[in-house]
Structure 1
Amino acid sequence: MVVGSDMKNKVTPTGDSHSSVAKYIRSIGRHYVTAVVVMTVLIGATFVTVKVALYRHSLQQNISYLIGRQFIRFQQLANQTRAVMRASTDPNMPEYIVRPMVEDVQKAIDDIRAMNVQLHDLNNEVEANLLERLNGPDPAAEKLRLELDGRLEDFLQRAERVVSTKLQERRERYSFWGPIDFAVSSDSLLMRQFSALIESAHDRSDVSIDHTRLISAVLLSLTAATLILATLILFIPLLVKLRTEHRRTLDFEIKLTHLAHTDTLTGLGNRSSFNDALNGLFGSLERTGAGFSMLLVDLDHFKSTNDSFGHPAGDAVLAHVAAALQKTFRAGDVVARLGGDEFAALLPGISDAATLEGIAGRAVAAIATECHFEGRLLPVSASIGGAVVPGHASDEPTLMRIADLALYAAKAKRNTAVIFDEASFAQRLEQNRLAAALAFAADRDEFVVYYQQKVDLLTSRHLGFEALVRWRHPQLGILPPGRFLPLMEGHLIQAMTRCIVNTVGRDLKAWKAAGLRAGSVAINLPEALLVSQDGYDLIAAAVKANGLDWRDFAIEVTEDVFLNRGAEQIAETISRFRKHGVSVSLDDFGTGFASLVHLRDFPFDELKIDRSFVAEIGKDIRSEQIIRAIIDLARNLGKRCVAEGIEEEAQRGFLMTAGCDIGQGYLFAKPEPASAAVERLAQNPLAVRGKSGRITQGPGEPAFQGAA
């Protein structure tokens, strides 16, 4: 995948097209507002029409209902009036029976007249209705209503006369006017008029409904026409223009995405595209379990090429490497330039380390082929580190870390490929984890002190301790110094030493409070603390804080202090310690760079023979001769001599014969925590050192041989 200048020219900003769309939208805005107003008015008119029609229909329904009730009440009234008159003709009928019947007749008359009033009001409301005005007046219906009202009122008046007369008068007159009046008043004509009036009301309602349908249809047609016109004139052209613009925007975004994921110099993918592909492969691993491999490529001596031949030559080398990688890997593999002279490749489906190693070797060979630039042959080579998934890692951070470890190993050899091997890199990974945890060990108070006893070689009596550090790792438990001291830098060593001094100070205070005589405890101070005031201040603070004597501490330094640029300051600090009675030991003597001049001028009190010489006693005559020479040198300088690492009785015997008085090692005691040291102190009291420096027994304490 190559990105050329033609693609750059094709990728143009979309600001002009966006501006034209905005102008077009503004131009149709006014027409759109007009269309919205027209549709709103039409919809409102439709709503009002429907509302008026529904109200007109509701009024007509009420009129029909009242007319029906009035007709029923009229029939009831006629029957009740006849019943009153028949009862009145019976001379045996008591008046208390007739009286309720008369009251019912009067109530029916009142009800019919009240209904007339309601009908009159409803007819007035109907006449005021907008649709009723559109229907026009109906003289026949009006004439029918008036005739019915007149006949009904005439009937009501006759009924009132019947019930208003006295019982005797009704009996006398019934044979004269009763049958005639009510036969005429309640004939079929009146009933037909009721029926005709109800039908007329329904007909008027149907006409109003038809008008409503017509008006609503016209209004809705106008609304639909307005909407269709707005769509045709306004929205469809707008949608076409927006769709065109959307396509242009998509094309532009695709080109931008391509540029954002492509290295313009080499045409390869960049770091962003590489990360996306890596995430995709890990997603496929979770879904299907399909493995893959990763290679990291770093050019050898690329900076020298840039500096010697110029950046154009460097660009030519990068292009050469990109072409070589594309030829080496498959079409489906992902090859990317991560930045500078760093490349990477992802190989889906390859999860075998041996196969990956062969591919990486071919890539190294392809990169190392001739690269010509302006008639010159440029030197090109690369180091490649690789790892497979899930064999070596199952997540992205781990994969990057172990691939980088493999690349680091390859760069140590140059022009080679190294595939991650778990066995060979396990130690480095562990060291990295330990180094990371060491940064917080002092703050978490994880450093602990173990004490190894110093004894008189002749009597095995206790003389003092050497403080040895251990690391209480949260997961790994107690670790010896060989596991972590090589990983520590200056500031970490200083923090660790502070922890040791503070712990020793507290232990000495506790031992003294318990009545135990521990002797001096030797602490190895690093050069960084001795070259400044910090080392002296640290011991002084421990002495003061715990109420100790300066002689409760002893200081050990190595021969490296003689080569330190601050050797004079270190010597001055050591002298300050000795003025307070602090014993100073030159540790690991014979393994460093001490000269006789250093021994002559440096203020110290004892030499410590390194354990590497003691271990060779009885095996190497040269080591024995060196030991004798060191002991003689110490004696001649007036210094004490201490042997480290004594593990056998034969070694002890040789050292005593050679003149060494003090020793320490597993033969006497292993390094042990403070609790075990307390028990040892209780069993083996402190020996008394004479003025001459020789060791004597305590009063009344017999001498004994053997290991403590």
Structure 2
Amino acid sequence: MLRRTEPRAKPLQSVERYIRSIGRHYVHAVIVMTMLIGATYLTVVVALDRHSLQQNIGFLTSNQFIRFQQLANQTRALMRASADPNLPDYIIRPMRDDILRAIGEVRAMSRQLAELHDEIGRNFLEKLNPRDDISEQLRLELDARLEDFLARAERIANAGAKERRERYSFWGPIDFAVSSDSVLMRQFGDLIRRAHERSGISIDNAKLIGTALLALIAATVILASIFLFSPLLKKLRNEHRRTMDFEERLTQLAHTDALTGLANRSSFNQALGNLFSDLERTGTGFAMLLVDLDRFKSINDSLGHPAGDAVLDHVARVLQRTLRSTDIAARLGGDEFAVLLPGMADSALLATIADRAVKAIAAEIPFEGRVLQATASIGGAVVPSHANDEASLMRVVDLALYTAKSGRNTAVIFDEAALARRLEQNQLSLALVLAADRDEFVVHYQPKVDLATGMHLGFEALVRWQHPELGLLPPGRFLPLMEGTQLIRGMTRAVIATVGRDLDAWKRAGLVPGTISINLPEVLLVNEEGYNLFVETILANRLEWHDFAVEITEDVFLNRSADQILDTVARFREHGLSVSLDDFGTGFASLVHLRDFPFDELKIDRSFVTGIGSDARSEQIIRAMVDLSRNLGKRCVAEGIETDAQRRFLLEVGCEVGQGYLFGKPEPVDQAGERLPRQSGGVKRLAAVGSGRRAVDGAL
């Protein structure tokens, strides 16, 4: 029995040994394949880590290059600004702070890049690849040049105003240009390119090693391998996609305005150059528009930068809707936009497009539960009808824009008449420099009366310019030319002195002139200069403080130095000088400002008075203003009254004082004196007092 079973036992044992052998081989195969799979996995992870590090290096180097360009532009701007000794410190100081902050950011990026290079040097795959001595040498040279550039920029930023003006304003731009020359720019470009190439090598290494290892795995585990590695392959694809997206974002960043999505100045200049090239090659012309927002600074200062950004975005969307798909709209900076219209040769059609854009920009802009209102001025020109090169085009378009801004909320296409007006404006600007010294300004007086009785209460002093060639010019011809200049200081000084002399003469003649209102500009309110002018005039002419009143526009609420203005106004009122709030309701000030501002009189602007009898909304606004002034315990004055119907309406709603052509036009001192009442026991009439006397207006 045992002998019969032994032969059966051997096959069974052989089968068992075979099965165990198969099992061992299977286990060995599984172990080997597992090790291969693990090795492949680890290899891909290492390659991806290296690729990620290289990607970070490329991204950080690109950001450092962009920040370097911004720093170079900021530093050059500071050196150009330093050449102007009159530029206030509150403009220079933020420029210096921005430069120092940018220097710190560039140096921080250099430190991060050094850390990333050290980390990538420890990567296993990096050790397998041949050492890139050229990239390392290029990086060290770039660091040295960049640090030299940063040191120069830091010295310029930390230099005193006098040193920058006397030293850097002459040789600084030359020396600074050497430190930021094309070599540094090329080294940045080479380093970014090599970083990208090394990133591609990482992907190639990962593919090569992964493919070689996967080829050793048996077909039975291919599906398993696919399932195991599919997440990693997906990650690899995502990394590559991110690389492409990153390069696309860099390109977009270099040519697109971040806020509006329009083309930036660089892209605009490139497109303009291409259009001029097409003009030379094919003779195809084009047109250009410049768009500048009116009073954009007031929106920013009063409502904040988010409101300003909303307005800029609104303008960008309007331009995109208004223009053709082939037109190029760009934001050049701040509130300035430009449009290129290829193939546009018709000035009339260009004017139609510009007018349509002006109207669309003036539409209401919803913002955080309120409605914003913005207007724009647009200037345009056609190539080659108006210009044949870039410099000439920019000059004529800027001229058209200047003409448009004189009227605001309008569009002007360049023509010879606009050029003539610009030349005239330039000549007037030059003559204005000497007008005060030559005693060419004249003060006219417009009476203020009691609306109920017609009794004379006082005057408002208004300026005229007795030009030696053009004759007597109204304020609208020359006051806009004085905006942003120091000429208005001398003009106001002259008007205060002239009004003081005229008051003294009237009083000595036994006349009762009442209170004379003088418009006082912001530049004389932010310090003691305006106050001292009244002190000198009052003492020199033996007058009283209550003989004068100052009119201040509500725009002073938005001035950076509003606190100093408030102090000056408070000093006026302490001495009994009346303060009138002019042009109320036409600016951007809020009722909070009205509540906190010390004033005695509120003036209703003529734009509201004109609507009496024809515009119910104007009448409602006037009623609200009168009620507001009465509730605040202030007087209310209406200007621009021309009809008796307007006078009766104002009297009915509670306004007691008015001025306008109904009561008298602005007149020279001798004519204005003839309408003045006499003091009891007056000694003589005012005859030619002050005839031919020149002065300047407080109505600035």
Pairwise TM-score range, normalised by the shorter structure: 0.3 to 0.5
- Structure with higher Rg: it is 1
TM-score relative to the length of structure 1: 0.41
Between the two structures, name the one with larger relative contact order (CA 8 Å, sep ≥ 6): 2
